[in-house]
Structure 1
Amino acid sequence: MPIKMERQYRTVAMPMMIQQDNKRFDSDFYVEGYAATWERYPLYEDEEGIVYEQFLPEAFKDTDFSDVIFQYNHDGRVFARTSNQTLLVEPDSRGLFQAADLRLTEASRSMYQDIETGLITKMSWAFLPDREMMEYDRNTRTIIHHRIPKVFDVSAVSYPANSGTEINARSFCDGVIAGRLKEFQEREERIKKIKLMIEV
């Protein structure tokens, strides 16, 4: 039975940073960073070794960024959002860039201070993968995303937890491997039949 592709979460390798120069918002409560970069990175490890993941630049060509929100732990209070122009999420030459203006409410300013003082050092983002536009490169053990239909949120997190990520990734890889094994077996059967026909 195919695994339904649901919302998935990824921990950001580089946390959001306080930036004073070249700011995308004119705000004293400005943070920026990258939700993803174009290089492949380790996603999880199984009995055969590390499985990697890579998001290609073209994966975000038609992504829905219409109402991405900035939260804490992917839940509760919204501190910024793309629909009111306090959050920016867009691909650039390095990866999926994000910037936030956290000045509008007391809660968002408090979140800025938590980031500034190092109390919160990790970021995570939630997205919808497209199973039909994913591939598994067996040679490099890499899951490659060619299309991301939607980004839901970017979140500051205290303990990054990708509870569903490994399950979905394993299911996808296992499904690809099983499908290729079946193709190989069917090919072998066809070869045997052809050999029998020739020998007769």
Structure 2
Amino acid sequence: MPAKPSERQYRNLSVPLSVRTIDGGAKKRFDTDYYVEGYATTFNDPYVLYEDFNGTKYTEIISPDALREADMSDVIMQFDHAGKVLARMSNGTLIVEPDEHGLFIAADLSRSQAARDAYEEIQAELVTCMSWAFTVAADEYDRETHTTTITRVKKVYDVSAVSLPADPNTEISARNLLNGAIEQSRKELARRKYALAKARATLAIANSRKV
């Protein structure tokens, strides 16, 4: 049930995007007063993508190997996946790299007024979450648990600071990815209901003949 290779996916993460000051403990990745870091996604950490009208929850997991061959040649950082570029890898203001926990990002938001404004909003905790945009190269679906495991990401386009922990883009892309699985689940539920109704009707007829 792989997504279309050209279909861009969006996922939000509840792990907070944070600001670190000069004396904030662990070493910063950029020598700047406008430093932020966080995780765009985590590995082996199931999250609910979608819940259908029957209450069936469809979950997703990012494999630790999913980003091993991903194209991350010039990822950019934006706000809500739109507008001005706040930082980017090609000019040395953005680090995007997978580690044992997930897809780590660190950014120097000092190079433009828009970037500095974004830093102030993050520092004030007006903007607290991360999201990322990517395309899927390969995935696996477990019909019993309704869980999709993304095993290979084709390309990472951007990481974004987001104003809300969930946004319409996330839900739309998740539903697009899951359309086949949701439709199959609906057909299976309909088939079971039909089989149960047929069995009850057969039993009722048999009981009526005994009377």
Alignment TM-score, normalising by the size of structure 1: 0.80
Q: Is residue 2:41 matched to residue 1:40?
A: no
Number of matched pairs:
176
Root mean square deviation, CA, Å: 2.1
Which of 134, 148, 164 is the aligned partner of 2:139? 134
Q: Distance in 1 between matches of 2:180 and 2:17?
A: 30
Which structure 2 residues correspond to residues 19-58 of structure 1 after superposition, within 5 A?
19=20, 20=24, 21-38=26-43, 39-46=45-52, 47-58=54-65
Tell me which amino acid in the other structure corresponds to 1:11: N
SS in 2 for 1:149: strand
* Mapped contact 1:136–1:176 kept (Cα < 8 A): no
Q: For structure 1, which runs of at least 5 residues remain unmatched after alignment?
A: 181-200
Alignment partner, residue 108 of structure 2 = 101
Q: Percent identity?
A: 46
Change in CA separation of 1:3 and 1:149 when aligned onto 2, cut-off 3 Å: closer
Q: Which has the larger radius of gyration?
A: 2
* Mapped contact 1:59–1:147 kept (Cα < 8 A): yes
Q: For structure 2, which runs of at least 5 residues remain unmatched after alignment?
A: 189-211
* Mapped contact 1:72–1:156 kept (Cα < 8 A): yes
Q: Distance in 2 between matches of 1:81 and 1:174?
A: 37
Change in CA separation of 1:24 and 1:172 when aligned onto 2, cut-off 3 Å: farther
Q: Distance in 1 between matches of 2:34 and 2:175?
A: 37
Alignment partner, residue 164 of structure 1 = 172
Change in CA separation of 1:151 and 1:176 when aligned onto 2, cut-off 3 Å: farther
Which structure 2 residues correspond to residues 54-73 of structure 1 after superposition, within 5 A?
54-73=61-80
Tell me which amino acid in the other structure corresponds to 1:4: K
* Mapped contact 1:3–1:171 kept (Cα < 8 A): no
* Mapped contact 1:13–1:36 kept (Cα < 8 A): no
Alignment partner, residue 118 of structure 1 = 125
Shift of 1:11: 0.6
Alignment TM-score, normalising by the size of structure 2: 0.76
Which of 45, 66, 91 is the aligned partner of 1:84? 91
Shift of 1:27: 1.3
Shift of 1:177: 6.4
Shift of 1:15: 2.3
Residues 3-32 of structure 1 show CA distances to partners (whole Å, capped at 9, x for unaligned) of 634001001221211123321111111111
SS in 1 for 2:14: coil
Deviates more, 1:161-170 or 1:7-16: 161-170
Tell me which amino acid in the other structure corresponds to 2:148: I
Change in CA separation of 1:110 and 1:168 when aligned onto 2, cut-off 3 Å: same
